[in-house]
Structure 1
Amino acid sequence: MTGRKIIHVDMDAFYASVEQRDNSELRGKPIAVGYSEERGVVAAASYEARTYGVRSAMPSLKAKKLCPDLIFIPGRMSVYKEVSRQIHEIFHDYTDIIEPLSLDEAFLDVTENKKGIELAVDIAREIKMRIRQELNLVASAGVSYNKFLAKIASDRRKPDGLCTIHPSQALDFIASLPIESFWGVGPVTSKRMHSLGIHDGTTLRNCSLEMLIRHFGKAGTIYYDFARGIDLRQVEAVRIRKSVGCETTFLKDISKDSSVIIELYHVAKELMGRLERSNFKGNTLTLKIKFHDFRQITRSITQSQKMDKLDIILPLAKQLLKEVDYANHPIRLIGLSVSHPKEETNEGKDGLWEQLSFEFSNWAE
């Protein structure tokens, strides 16, 4: 079917594991990286906390109800970045074809590897062992002939898992896979899938390409291929930054015009700083609003001029804000991002799966 050998490495409970590694008093205890105040969210949860149902992106108040003994630890992003760099040094001993998805996970193409190891599973096992011995952390790994299956394999036996999906096993494996486990099928899409009678890999494979495109657009082609074990995307050693953004969550919901404009100004200023530090230039501005009931909307505008000055971004942000009815729907969060760099449009590349490089202004959301 293919001669490629792809590994997906995913650090287990990365932020929380680093905190437990560096502080012996936290080991074996339920901890959450994030802030515990009313508007805080869990950025990462230890496996001890997960047994209570605590998950990342969960509101802190809900997490504390599920686990009264939950210990909140402020995030140390500089430390996590340094540990991520050390992990990648290990990766580079085997291949330079590495595609990072975030600080704690990456794809590796080891079809031709530096050590001449024949089996990709042996490379994955060695990488896991070195991460444990050299960094005192635990990783899970998935091995297969494409990115889609390698990613799913790495999630199969967490924590400290190692799973290989061989080409001869792929179709049977996919057939029994719940539709929610397919990469890119979130809650909204899975609900639509269920309404169409699509519940697993088998029922997805029974759908025609025309039917999937009619209901899911271009993504329908991806789902059609995935159901057949097809994913031709290469492991990209260099990922193009597609956007820069920031957002802030308020301690209290706001609905007064003056308050909203003031907060929008602060977010726009923060965005400008991030654009300058990353030397990023784009021509699409997106406003993100999360209301008091957690309903979320986005509004975007694209112009030919690059958005690199506050007196360009702020008026456009205010223009987008006029499209939002917040008088009767108090605002919980405001975010702004600039995207679509003119120099690197890269349209269609990786399609649905292109990673957006958002950097958030704080841990609370």
Structure 2
Amino acid sequence: MGESTLTEGTVLHADLDAFFASVEQRDDPSLRGRPVIVGGGVVMAASYEAKRAGVRTAMGGRQALRICSDAIVVPPRMHAYTQASRDVFDVFHDTTPMVEGLSIDEAFLEVGGLRRIRGLPSEIAAQLRVDVMERVGLPISVGVARTKYLAKVASAVSKPEGLLVVPIERELHFLHALPVERLWGVGKVTSGKLRAARINTVGDVAAMYEGELVQLLGPGSGHHLHALAHNRDPRPVVVGKRRGSMGAQHAIGRGHHTAEELDLTLLGLVDRVAGRMRTAGRTGSTVTIRLRFGDFTRSTSSHTLPRPTAHTLTILDVARQLLASRAAAIAEKGITLIGVSVGSLDDNPMQLALPIDVVGGATIDDAVDAIRDKFGSKSLRRAVQVGRPDRDAMPILPD
């Protein structure tokens, strides 16, 4: 392999293409090659056929259908997406033991130690794409670079169904030609400030003095973007990193929603999150709710408990109070999405302050978990959920 190996970085960023929509097209051959939208009231995901027509995630369902009138709308199937994610991560771990998951559909892989047995990083990446398609039936894009940041950028540029290797000697040439929006942390507000100052490319950012960026954007963003513009990203691929929070969210259609409907959605989300925490042996102390209103503005509010917990009713009580504090905004703007997460996760479960729901030596939560583990997640439901449609929740990406 010799000197040619020195031109390639060893970090891979693998990212499934239009994940939810791709799973739907895989499982239903009649959807292949056609524009597919996952979610009705709000677009949770869109196939590339729909994206080419202008459909975007988080867009209102009616607007999406006006843009792409021949789109096929399908309800989300979170159980199918979760299983597909597990299958893909099995492929990742069969490729290299150095895997750092970012979300259910993307991960970093370090392949520097595999040169002698697997070949160049570009060859490993090409085989990874083949393996994911053959074993799981899903398209995936892969970026190969020296740093995690640049590998992620490369995979995004290569989409859909692409492979892009950024040679070490060409990395700044590649990076500096990109628009400023490719820098991590550059959203609409930061992009507006940069472009107002006639800073349009990553190269323009790199040409600035660090102090100028700090003056324009503040110390946090200024130092961060200056480092990224020069591809300074020393973070290694971290194996076994445990997430700092667990959460789920549910998109609800536009229109009026009663307090009872919102509470039912909140209950389902908390039930799911708390169950996942107990399964993982984690407790948490910071409860957060995330809301998206009818005008597409967002709100986040949180409360930290005096001690960590995985108790469903404790978390639900806090989440209800947080939701009630946003009642006026909900009434004025409407609401299209509710998310719940529990952060500051701890691996050392603590005794609840008031274990009043004890039945035969086991808590109600433990009994519910045991029944669902044995007979399925939908085998036991709360009384208020009986006769109501199932509400699949979309996982919130880890912090």
Query: Do both share a fold (TM > 0.5)?
Result: yes
Residue 237 and residue 229 in structure 1: after superposition, are their counterparts in 2 closer, same or farther (change >3 A)? Answer: same
SS of alignment partner, residue 55 of structure 2? coil
CA deviation string 1:82-130 (max 9, x = no partner): 3333333333333110112223221110010276234211111121223
Q: Which moved more, 1:272-281 or 1:185-194?
A: 272-281
Of 29, 35, 42, which aligns to 1:30? 35
Are 1:337 and 2:341 an aligned pair?
yes
- Give the aligned partner of residue 190 of structure 1: 191
Q: 1:247 to 1:27 in 2, by over 3 A?
A: closer
Offset at residue 250 of structure 1 (A): 4.8
User: Where does residue 142 of structure 1 map in the other structure?
Assistant: 143
Partner of 1:14: 19
Q: Secondary structure at the match of 2:118?
A: coil
Contact 2:98 2:237 in 1 (8 A): yes
Q: C-alpha offsets along residues 294-344 of structure 1, whole Å, 9 cap, x if unaligned?
A: 221112222432243455445544554565443862441443322112459
Match of 1:355 in 2: none
Cα contact 1:249–1:364 (8 A) shared by 2: no
Q: Which digits, 9 at most, give the CA deviation of each residue in 1:336-360, with x for residues without a partner?
A: 322112459xxxxxxxxxxxxxxx9
Matches within 5 A, 1:310-349: 312-317=314-319, 319-321=321-323, 323-324=325-326, 325-326=328-329, 329-332=332-335, 333-342=337-346
Cα–Cα, structure 1 residues 264 and 102, in superposed 2: closer, same or farther, change >3 Å?
closer
8 Å contact kept, 2:176–2:203 = yes
Determine which structure has more spread, i.e. the larger CA radius of gyration. Answer: 2
- The secondary structure found in structure 1 opposite 2:12 is strand
State whether structure 2 residue 220 is matched by structure 1 residue 218: yes
Q: Which amino acid aligns with 1:88?
A: F
Q: CA RMSD in A?
A: 3.3
C-alpha separation between the residues in 2 aligned to 1:104 and 1:80? 9
5+ residue gaps, structure 1, are 345-359
CA distance in 1, matches of 2:204, 2:301: 35
Q: SS of the counterpart of 1:326?
A: helix
Identity among equivalent pairs (%)? 33
TM-score where L is the length of structure 2: 0.75
Which digits, 9 at most, give the CA deviation of each residue in 1:48-90, with x for residues without a partner? 2222112333222122111111112233333333333333333
Q: CA deviation at 1:179?
A: 0.4
Instruction: Assess if the C-alpha contact under 8 Å between 2:281 and 2:347 holds in 1.
Output: no
Match of 2:233 among 231, 234, 241: 231
What secondary structure, in the 3-state scheme, does the structure 2 residue paired with 1:160 have? Answer: coil
Q: Which moved more, 1:296-305 or 1:230-239?
A: 296-305
Give the secondary structure class of the aligned counterpart of 1:218: helix
Mean CA deviation greater in 138-147 or 300-309: 300-309
The one-letter code sitting in structure 2 at the alignment partner of 1:301 is H
Q: Is the 8 A contact 2:132 2:139 kept in 1?
A: yes
Partner Cα separation in structure 1 for residue 121 and residue 64 of structure 2:
38
Paired position in structure 2 for 1:297 = 299
Question: In the alignment, what sits opposite 2:177?
Answer: 176
Residues 30-109 of structure 1 correspond to what in structure 2 (within 5 A)? 30-32=35-37, 34-36=38-40, 39=41, 41-109=42-110
Aligned-pair distance for 1:146? 0.7
Which amino acid in the other structure matches residue 362 of structure 1? A
Partner of 1:348: none
The alpha carbon displacement at 1:211 in A equals 3.8
Letter in 1 for 2:162: G
Cα shift readout 1:166-215 (whole Å, capped 9, x = no counterpart)? 12111112221100112332223222322344321122113333343452
Structure 2: distance between partners of 1:265 and 1:91: 35
Separation (CA, whole Å) in 2 of partners of 1:263 and 1:131: 34
CA gap 1:241/1:52 in 2 versus in 1, 3 angstroms: same
Alpha-carbon distance change, 93 to 166 in structure 1, aligned in 2, over 3 angstroms: same
Hey, what's the Cα distance between the residues in 2 that align with 1:95 and 1:364?
26
Do 1:140 and 1:160's aligned partners in 2 also have CA atoms closer than 8 Å?
A: yes
Give yes or no for the alignment of 1:362 onto 2:393.
yes
Q: Contact 2:13/2:151 (CA < 8 Å) preserved in 1?
A: yes
1: CA distance, partners of 2:94 / 2:115: 7
| Gap runs ≥5 in structure 2 | 1-5, 349-390
**Equivalences, count:** 346
Q: Quick one: which amino acid aligns to residue 15 of structure 1?
A: F
Structure 2 vs 1, CA of residues 313 and 140 (structure 1 numbering), >3 Å: closer, same or farther? closer
Seen in structure 2, the aligned counterparts of structure 1 residues 341 and 290 have a Cα distance that, compared at 3 Å, is same
Greater alpha carbon shift after TM alignment, 159-168 vs 214-223: 214-223
Cα 1:57–1:315 change in 2 (3 A) is closer
Deviates further, 299-308 or 199-208: 299-308
Distance 2:294 2:221 in 1: 31
Between stretches 48-57 and 80-89, larger displacement belongs to: 80-89
Q: Distance in 2 between matches of 1:342 and 1:286?
A: 16
C-alpha distance in 2 between matches for 1:262 and 1:128: 41
2:286 aligns to what?
284
Q: Distance in 2 between matches of 1:268 and 1:18?
A: 26
Matches of 1:196 and 1:184, distance apart in 2: 17
* In 1, Cα distance between equivalents of 2:15 and 2:79: 19
Query: Structure 1 residues 11, 261: closer, same or farther in 2, change over 3 A?
Result: closer
